[in-house]
Amino acid sequence: MSLQLQPFRPRLLDALKGYDRAKFVADVSAGLTVGVVALPLAMAFAIASGVKPEQGIFTAIVAGFLISALGGSNVQIGGPAGAFIVIVYGIVERYGLTNLLISTALAGVLLFAMGALKLGALVRYIPVTIIIGFTNGIAVLIGLSQVKDLLGLEIAKLPADFFTQIGVLAAHANTFNPMALAIGLACLALVVVWPKSYTMPLDNIGWRHRLYRLAAHVPGTIVALVLATLATALLHLPVETIGSRFGGIPQSLPQLALPPFSWESAKQLVIPTITIALLGAIESLLCARVADNLIDAPRHDPNQELMAQGVANMVAPAFGGIPATGTIARTVTNVRSGAVTPIAGIVHALTLLAIVLVAAPLALHVPLAALAGILLFVAWNMGEWREFARLRHFSLPYRTILLGTFFLTVVFDLTVAVEVGLVLACVFFIYRMSTLFRVRPHDPAELPPGVQVFELFGSLFFGAVGKIEALPAQVGEGTRALVLEMHRLISLDTSGLDALEQLHRTLKKRGVALVLANVNEQPLSLMRRSGFDAVLGEDAIVPSVAAAFEHDALNPAAPAR
């Protein structure tokens, strides 16, 4: 059997068919808007991840361009994401920046392979409880990581461990800067109250309505960032800025520089690589599904999207970029701004490039407290906090998986949380399926003497074999045949088959025949392939319970076998 790989066909090729001036104008307008929105987020995500602000911008430029040009969605915007902050920070702390770049490139290879092998649909099999749990956990960690800059604390390097972070923050509380807190809270409040959209009324259109509509088209994050930067520069406020910590942002194109690679270091980066690839796949495909529900266009191709994410993460580290994926906030902004095709995402990347070439020196005065306020808003929007209030309405397994994944993400890391969450989900699923399997006895008064009939319901698999193993104890004295009615047995696995074989051997020693009635196609196919039907005998698998009564064991006149 030959392996069928996913053909590499970007959605851009289909989107350009019938492309006209109206679509171009809409895409350019949306791309310019998203590019402006992405600027403060790219810097904030990079700084919070423990790298330089320009690395976030270069990631948004390079990876954002490639994800739009090569991806499987019409409107998805790619770039650095808030979900990666905790992961990237931990990798930088433990392995160093060079190994982060290597892990990102290796994760890109893994993502491309997942798409080429048509594994995009498998990401959807991760339970929603695990996704909610680790998303909320990451949001909490992002919020905690911003306390340092929000309060203006003098901490040289914040550790990655949750409890150690709290201890370090508490130990440096005496370095609190009231001015930084004021700037951060002012930016947070401005982003919260700034109009996100505004519908013009049909009548009484005055200057106030026009002003509101104009404000709704200007991103609140940009307004907050510009005002905070102007206040810091003009009033010489005593707060830490991008210039004081990083020396500013280079006013040039990102330089191509391949990170040094060795197999020795690569072998130590298996866990970080898998973590980046897994989170990137989940985030990008969740984002693409959200976009599908907002636009009237063909649904995204998950495999092509994964291949584009792979290419982007392979190329971005060569320019100093950090991991990239689809971003829900910027994608929604892109859709609401009127984007139609991937051209909008390409324009967004080119807009960021133009801003870097023209306005990079202005970033010197951007206060880090302002970026902390913006990131707190991002973290709050990232979490699905209502799910905690709704937990009482759900089952114990649901609550256990969600809360377990949440606390493990906060206390340990995403990889441990997802691994344990998946194990818990499997255990609870097995338990639930085992409870659905039932063995129901028929009324003895309705049966011929010497016959016992049990009806099987559900799926006989490794988690339910105990109920079959308990059957010999229920077979009374004088029983000549045990009939299993399997009309409602929908599936059988090898463990279930082994339990039936063991049941047959036990009953045979006691002189009791085993007869299977009304066996469905899947269990019957497994029995035939394993040879169990031959062991039972030709007349031991019958079409109905009534036919089972004609079995040799119930017919005294039949010749002995």
Q: Which CATH superfamily is domain 437-554 in?
A: STAS domain (3.30.750.24)
Identify the DSSP state of 256: P
Q: Phi and psi for 243 in degrees, rounded to 5? A: -65, -45
Q: Please, what's the b/e burial string for 496-520 (b: 16 or more CB within 10 A of its CB; e: otherwise)?
A: bbebbbebbeebeeeebbbbbbbbe
- 109-157 pLDDT per residue, tens: 999 999 999 988 887 788 889 989 988 999 999 899 999 999 999 998 8
Supply φ then ψ for residue 128, to 5 degrees: -65, -30
> pLDDT tens digits, residue range 430-482?
999 898 999 999 888 888 888 899 999 999 999 999 999 999 999 888 888 89
Assigned token pair, 131:
């996704």
Which among 43, 35, 20, 40 is positioned nearest to 65, based on CA atoms?
35
Task: Report the pLDDT value the prediction gives residue 558, as an integer from 0 to 100.
Answer: 45
Distance CA 550, CA 237 (A): 97
Please tell me the pTM assigned to this model: 0.81
Percent of the chain scoring above 90 in pLDDT: 55
CA distances from 35 to 15, 292, 331, 357 (A): 21, 21, 11, 14
Mean pLDDT of 519-524: 93
What's the pLDDT at 1?
Answer: 47
Q: Are 374 and 224 in contact (CB under 8 A)?
A: yes
Contact (Cβ atoms closer than 8 angstroms) between residue 349 and residue 68: yes
Tokens of 11: 């959605």
Round the average pLDDT of the chain to a whole number and report it: 88
Q: What are the φ and ψ backbone dihedral angles of 274, each rounded to 5 degrees?
A: -65, -40
53 half-sphere exposure, CB direction, 13 A CA radius: 26
- The model's pLDDT over 260-300, given as tens digits with 9 standing for 90+, comes to 777 777 778 898 999 999 999 988 988 888 888 888 888 89
- Would you call 453 helix, strand, or coil by DSSP? strand
- Which class for 408: exposed (0-12), middle (13-18), buried (19 or more C-beta within 10 A)? buried
The pLDDT of residue 553 = 58
Tell me what the mean pLDDT of segment 58-81 comes to: 94
Cβ-in-10-Å burial (0-12, 13-18, 19+) of 399 comes to: middle
pLDDT in tens, 212-261: 777 777 788 888 999 999 999 999 999 999 999 888 888 877 777 777 77
In the chain, what's the furthest Cα-to-Cα distance? 109
Amino acid letter for position 189: A
Measured distance CA(362)–CA(368) in Å, rounded: 14
Encode pLDDT of 18-45 as tens digits. 899 999 999 999 999 899 889 899 999 9
Residue ranges of the domains in the chain? 23-382, 386-435, 437-554
Render pLDDT for 142-200 as a digit per residue (tens, 0 to 9).
Answer: 899 999 999 999 998 888 788 999 999 999 999 999 999 999 999 999 999 887 665 54
Residue with tokens 């998986």: 401
Instruction: Please name the residue that has the structure tokens 């906060």.
Output: 410
